[in-house]
Amino acid sequence: MISEYKINKKELNFIPNHIYNKGYVYKDHFIFEKKKLNDFAIFIGANEEIAEKKLIAFTNHLKEHKPLAYKQIQDILKDEEKHAEYSLRFAKNNNSLFSYKIKLSKEKTLSFFRHIYANSLNKFSFIFNPILITIIVLISFVAHFLKLKKKITDEDVMKNIEPNSIT
């Protein structure tokens, strides 16, 4: 993709921290650390299935204009399909049918809401940004007076520093 479409590598960088903000993963632990193996398998199965559907919709846009990218994504789709299949097969074998169905629909519902939340972040900004701008303008007045001491020199750093202070 880099050579065919002259995409700079920068554009392909994946920054894991960004997905914390959107609520897909948790900052303070890995998902597999908190979930039991059966629940984790259902989580993976349900979400890989959803990811597969989303990728199919995405590749339909690429099919005609970017055939190489389309082909590469088809390979990724095969992986997604396998992950979903294996995880769900494991979960099916290790849960009663009723419990499996309940857990699967719970994961799909949660994922649905996560997507709604992630897709709505811009809309939230539309509502909250004017409030934040007002706060910022107010702070700008306060900031004029609140000037932390900036020292170009300090004769005795250890004596003048307050160790327990965050300022």
Residue corresponding to tokens 């979903």 = 84
- Rule CB under 8 A: is residue 123 a binding residue for another protein? no
Site for another protein in 81-100 (CB under 8 A): none
Of the candidates 100, 91, 109, the residue with the CA atom closest to the CA atom of residue 40: 91
CB of 69 to another protein, least distance (A): 16
Taking residues 28 to 47 in sequence order and writing x for each that binds another protein by CB under 8 A, - otherwise, the string is x-------------------
- Which is closer to another protein, CB of 9 or CB of 65? 9
- Rule CB under 8 A: is residue 147 a binding residue for another protein? yes
CB 160 within 8 A of CB 154: yes
| Residue 91: Cβ-neighbour burial (10 angstroms; 0-12, 13-18, 19+) | buried
CB 37 within 8 A of CB 48: no
Out of 1, 2, 25, 102, name the contact with another protein by CB under 8 A.
2
- Rule CB under 8 A: is residue 155 a binding residue for another protein? yes
- Rule CB under 8 A: is residue 132 a binding residue for another protein? yes
Cα–Cα distance for residue pair 122/127, rounded to 1 Å: 9
Site for another protein in 4-23 (CB under 8 A): 6-11, 13, 16-17
- Rule CB under 8 A: is residue 152 a binding residue for another protein? yes
- Rule CB under 8 A: is residue 158 a binding residue for another protein? yes
Cα–Cα distance for residue pair 85/88, rounded to 1 Å: 5
List, in order, residues 6 or more apart from 24 with CB less than 8 Å away. Answer: 114, 118
CB of 102 to another protein, least distance (A): 32
CB 80 within 8 A of CB 16: no
Contacting positions for another protein (CB under 8 A): 2-3, 6-11, 13, 16-17, 27-28, 129, 132-133, 135-137, 139-140, 143, 147-148, 150-158, 161, 163-167
